[in-house]
Amino acid sequence: MYKSRYLEKTIKNLTESIKVIYLAGSRQVGKTTLLKYLATERKMGYVSLDNLQIRKLAQEDPELFLQKYPAPLLIDEVQYAPQLFPYIKINVDGSDKNGLYWLTGSQQFAIMKNVKESLAGRIGILNLAGFSLAEDLELAPPQQPFLPSRINNEKIKALSANDIFKVIHRGSFPVLTHKNPPPLEIFYNSFLQTYIDRDLKELFHVSKITSFNKFIQLCAARTGQILNYSDLARDADISVHAAQEWLNVLISSFQVYLLEPYYKNISKRMIKAPKLYFWDTGLAAYLTRWKTPETLFSGAMAGAFFENFVVSEIMKSYWHRGETPPVYYLRDKEGHEVDLIIERDNVLYPVEIKMSGSVQEKYLRNIKYYREKISNMGRGAIVSLTQNHLPLDREEDLIPVTLIN
C-alpha cells in the first residue's frame, strides 16, 4: 500500500511552475513509486531505461525515443541515456506548458553536469531519501523543516529506545516498512549485488569489486567519525587517491554523505575535515554485521548509529521539502564539539545528540562554550531517546528524536 511522502507537495507545486523535474536518490528509496502515484492524476506516460531495448533506443536515437514516448512523460533511471537531455531541451523550449517531463536518477555528479548544461533554467532538482521516521509513522508534515526553535508537541509519538533501535537496525528503505517485509539479510545482500552490478560496473567502471566491498565496510565502521583519507586508505590497502575516488562513488550514488564543518568567522583552530555518515543506517548495520537491534543497541557502535540516525532524519527534513540542508558540525582542535549546527537566516542553531533517556548538565557544556564565542546563536537542543519535549533552560530544549519531521 502506498505511503504518503512529504515531498509530494513540493513536486506538485514545482510542476505548475517549471517544465522539468529531476528526482534523484539511491535505488529502492521510492522515487518511481512516488512519481508514478502522482503521475496517475496527471495522465503522464511512463518509461524505464532499466529496460535494455528501450535504453538502447534512447541512447542511439533520442529524437525518435521522444517521439515514441511523448510528453507529459516520466522517464525512470535517466542516467543511462544522457543523450536525451539536448532533445528534451528542444522539446520544452518549443512548448509553453509546464510539467512536461519528470526524470529520476540514482547518481549525482555526472548526470548533474548534463542536467545543468542542457536544462539550466528549465529544471527543478529534488532529492529523495528513504522514509523518515515521521513518514514511516504516517504523521502529518509540519509546514517547515526541523529547527530547535519550532517544535510541534502535537506531533509527538511515544516510542521506546528499543523501538527506535529496531528502526535504526532495519533501515529506511520503503519495502522494509511493509506488513510482510523481506528478511534484512536477503534484502541488503540483494541491494548490494544490484548496486555493484548496475552502478559500480556500468556507471562508475569500478572493477576491483572485492576491494570495494572491503572499502564500503570500512566506511560503515567509521560512521559518525571525522574522515581521514590516509587512515581509510591504509586500512583498505589502497592509495589515498583511490580512497577519494571510491568515496566520491558512494556519495554520487547516495550511499554516504559528508557533513562539512562550520568554521566561518570563529577561529583558525577549527577542524576543517568532514564527518562521514550513511544515508541508511540499516545498510551500515548490515555492513558492520550487527545481526539484531538488541546487539546493536548494546554494542560499541550504538552511540555512533544513533547519531547517524538523528543527522539523517534532520537532513531528510530539509530534502523532503525541496531544500538543501543547511547543516554542519562544529569542532575545534581542543575537542570542543557540537554535533550539528543548523544555519538559518544568519542564525546558528546548535544541536547535541545523546543516546540517553535523561540529560546531564555536561551535555550542554560545549553549546555553552560556543555561545560565548558566537553572537548569532539561536535556540539549541539536545536530541535524545527521551519521550518528552522539555525546556532545559532559557536557551536549550530537550527534544525526542520522534519530533524531527
Cell of 296: 546493536
Residue 157's nearest CA partner among 178, 128, 132 is: 132
pLDDT, position 3: 92
What distance in Å separates the CA atoms of residue 185 and residue 123, rounded to the nearest whole number?
Answer: 38
Rounded-to-integer distance, Cα 338 and Cα 350, Å: 7
Contacts of residue 375, defined as CB under 8 A and 6 or more positions apart, other chains included, come to: none
Helix (H, G, I), strand (E, B) or coil at 175: helix
DSSP 8-class letter at 323: -
Provide long-range contacts, Cβ within 8 A and 24+ apart, for 158-165.
158/387, 158/402, 159/387, 159/402, 160/387, 161/297, 161/357, 161/385, 162/293, 162/294, 162/297, 164/306, 164/309, 164/385, 164/401, 164/402, 165/293, 165/294, 165/296, 165/297, 165/302, 165/305, 165/306
Three-class SS state of 45: strand
Cβ pair 61, 81 in contact under 8 A: no
Residues of the chain with CATH 3.40.50.300: 8-127
Mention every residue, 6+ apart, whose C-beta is less than 8 A from residue 326: 318, 342, 343, 344
Note the pLDDT of residue 382. Answer: 95
Q: Which three cell numbers stand for residue 260?
A: 562539512
> Which cell goes with 11?
513536486
Q: What is the dihedral of CA 374, 322, 249, 130, to 10 degrees?
A: 110
The answer to whether 50 touches 76, Cβ cutoff 8 Å, is yes
Closest CA to 277 of 342, 238, 327, 233: 327
54: region left, alpha or beta (phi > 0 left; psi from -120 to 50 alpha): alpha
pLDDT at residue 154 in the model: 60
pLDDT tens over the chain, length 405 residues:
789 999 999 999 999 999 999 999 999 999 999 999 999 988 999 999 999 999 999 999 999 999 999 999 999 999 899 999 999 999 999 999 999 999 999 877 667 777 777 888 889 999 999 999 999 999 888 788 999 988 766 666 778 999 999 999 999 999 999 989 999 999 999 999 888 777 777 666 777 888 889 999 999 999 999 999 999 999 999 999 999 999 998 999 999 999 999 987 777 788 999 999 999 999 999 999 999 999 999 999 999 999 999 999 999 999 999 999 999 999 999 999 999 999 999 999 999 999 987 777 788 999 999 999 999 999 999 999 988 888 888 899 999 999 998
Instruction: Tell me the CATH number of domain 8-127, given options 2.40.170.20, 3.40.50.2020, 3.40.50.300, 3.40.190.10.
Output: 3.40.50.300
